[in-house]
């Protein structure tokens, strides 16, 4: 398994895209069952909560410190995470049969896909060029070490603290 931070984050992105496709498939036909929507959204929220936590706690602060030219990109990413955090918290508290549940999930998916696209196409190449292999492996190792204790729910105190810190960083 690679310890490269960018490789690890791209693996998370791949898993999120898979979950997004599953959710979209569940909508086909006569109103996909609420229980299936609930299960998939719970998986999406858990994956996003862990992913944003690792980026907010490890990747973004390190890149911000080591590559000051990317400050604007990092601040935008923090804000995109904030939007995702708010939507995740709302979805976690909603009933899957609520009229707004599918619409809110669709907005979350669209926002996260936009964020992923920016990271993978614009931000990651700049980070890789600026930092190189060893620093990215060190960042990745820190992310791997933190992952087992990372929050999986937006109501987890660690997730709340990380989200608050990210919007004031």
The stretch 100-107 carries a mean pLDDT of 95
| pLDDT at residue 62 in the model | 95
Inform me whether the pLDDT recorded for 29 exceeds 60. no
CB atoms within 10 A of CB 86: 13
Q: Cα separation of 64 and 77, whole Å?
A: 11
Q: Which residue has the tokens 């995740």?
A: 88
Is pLDDT of 135 > 80? yes
pLDDT(154) > 90? no
Q: What is the pLDDT of residue 156?
A: 78
CA distance 15 to 13: 5
Give me the chain's average pLDDT, please.
91
- Structure tokens, 12: 């998370």
Residue 136 has pLDDT above 80, yes or no: yes
**Quick check: 43 and 16 in contact, CB under 8 A?**
no
């Amino acid at each position: 398994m690679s310890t490269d931070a960018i490789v690890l984050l791209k693996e998370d992105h791949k898993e999120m895209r898979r979950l997004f496709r599953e959710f979209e498939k569940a909508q086909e036909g006569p109103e996909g069952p609420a229980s299936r929507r609930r299960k998939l959204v719970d998986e999406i929220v858990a994956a996003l909560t862990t992913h944003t936590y690792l980026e907010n706690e490890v990747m973004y602060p390190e890149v911000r410190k080591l590559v000051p030219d990317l400050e604007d990109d990092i601040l935008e990413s923090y804000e995109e995470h904030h939007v995702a955090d708010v939507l995740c918290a709302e979805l976690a508290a909603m009933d899957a049969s609520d009229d707004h549940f599918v619409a809110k999930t669709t907005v979350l998916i669209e926002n996260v896909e936009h964020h992923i696209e920016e990271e993978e196409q614009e931000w990651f190449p700049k980070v890789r060029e600026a930092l190189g292999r060893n620093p990215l492996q060190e960042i990745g190792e820190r992310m791997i070490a933190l992952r087992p204790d990372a929050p999986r729910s937006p109501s987890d105190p660690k997730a709340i603290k990380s989200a608050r810190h990210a919007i004031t960083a």
